[in-house]
Structure 1
Amino acid sequence: MRLLDLIPAQFRIAAVGLLLVMLAGGSAALAWTVQGWRYGQQLERQARLQADTLNEMAQASASLQRAEQDKRLALERRLQSKDETHHKELTDEQTKQARLRDRLATTDLRLSVVLAATDTTSGCSVPTTTATGRVVHGTTRAQLDPAHAQRIIGITDAGDQGLIALRACQEYAREVSATERADSTAP
């Protein structure tokens, strides 16, 4: 006797159908589980590749950031040395100007100007012809009042400080533009 003979005839078709449905459902569930494992492995592999790629990108970004920071620090050091040089030039010039003002104040030094050759009111006798190699005549100079000399020194002091500051600005601009050019041409 077979197992099928034990099932009543009216339920045999339903039992066979149920058996086929269970067999199909079991194989579908098994296939679903196997596909889930395979898909899970693929997702895991893709996640690992993405993590590796992100790690490489982070390392490249960090090294690029370190290189840029090193460039910036080198530029800051160069600009600091230029600033110290500029400050030294400026203080030296101020010291020279202060010494000159002190010498003018103590009448240790007197400023004088050359009188014009056509000045008839000066009362100085200026030769009508000049000797070769001489532009300034010894007796055609007039001394300035110390107060006026102090004002002239103040004006030239401000001009000298302006020229020193301009030179420092030009050096700074050259340094920054040379660094930017070097950065833009670097691969």
Structure 2
Amino acid sequence: MRLLDLIPAPWRLGVVVALLALLAGGAATIAWHIQDWRYGLQLEHQARLQADTLNQLSLAAAAQQRAEQDQRLALEQRLQSSDQTHSKELNDVQQDQARLRDRLATADLRLSVLLDGNDPASGCNVPATAAASGVVHAATRARLDPAHAQRIIAITDDGDRALIALKACQAYAGAVSH
């Protein structure tokens, strides 16, 4: 005996239609769940790709930051070395100038100037000083007053310091601009 034989004839068509509708609804529900599962897989795949991309970006940013820190550290070391070099040079010049001022103060050293003996406007006939180590032989020279010599040394000291400071500034600007 079949299941349809148990259902009265007028209702058979309705029951078959209802069963078919039930089966079609179940198939649609199954299809919807399959589609939902596939969509979930796509979302999971996209989330994984996005996480990988973000990880790569953060690694690249960290590498770039390390490279910039290394460059900055190298620049700071070069500037510190340059500063030490210029400080030593300035200190050496200051010591040389101090020794020169001391020699001038103790009369161990005298500054003189070369006079133009052919200049009639000078009106002064100063005899040439004999110096065994002089560069100019038999030239008319005049010894400078020690106070004036000290001022000249101070001016050259300022000039030397200015040149060293300028050199340090140029080295700094060159290091920073590269």
Is the 8 Å Cα contact of residues 113 and 143 (structure 1) preserved in structure 2?
A: yes
- Provide the rounded CA distance (Å) in 1 between the counterparts of 2:78 and 2:5: 98
Match of 2:38 in 1: 38
The residue type equivalent to 1:170 in the other structure is Q
* 1:88 CA displacement: 0.1
Alignment of 1:64-103 (within 5 A): 64-103=64-103
Please, what is the CA RMSD of the aligned residues? 2.8
- Name the amino acid aligned to 1:145: D
Q: In the TM superposition, what whole-angstrom CA distance separates every residue of 1:69-119 from its partner, at most 9, and x where no partner exists?
A: 222212221221111101000011111112212222233222111112315
Q: Percent identity?
A: 61
- Counting only pairs closer than 5 Å after superposition, residues 17-28 of structure 1 correspond to structure 2 as 18-28=18-28
What's the TM-score, normalizing by structure 2? 0.78
Aligned to 1:131: none
Deviations 1:132-171 (A, max 9, x none): xx98344511122222222111111111011111222222
Task: Work out the CA distance in 2 between the residues paired with 1:50 and 1:167.
Answer: 53
Q: Measure the CA separation in 1 of the matches of 2:108 and 2:127.
A: 27
Amino acid paired to 2:52? D
Within a 5 Å distance, the mapping from 1:108-119 to structure 2 comes to 108-117=108-117, 118=119, 119=121
Matches of 2:138 and 2:99, distance apart in 1 = 26
Give the paired residue count: 170
User: Partner residue of 2:171?
Assistant: 171
Does structure 1 retain, via aligned residues, the 8 Å contact 2:126–2:142? no
The equivalent residue for 2:131 is none
Whether 1:121 aligns to 2:123 is: yes
Per-residue CA distance 1:17-65 (angstroms, 9 max, x = gap) = 5544433332222111111111111111121122122212222222232
Q: Which runs of 5+ in 1 are unaligned?
A: 127-133, 181-187
Query: Which stretches of structure 1, 4 residues or more, deviate above 6 A after TM superposition?
Result: none
Contact 2:114 2:139 in 1 (8 A): no
For structure 2, list consecutive stretches of 5 or more residues without a partner in the other structure. Answer: 129-133
Distance 1:25 1:4, change over 3 A: farther
Given the two structures, how large is their TM-score scaled by the length of structure 1? 0.75
Code of the aligned partner of 2:170: Q
Residue 7 of structure 1: how far off its partner (Å): 6.4
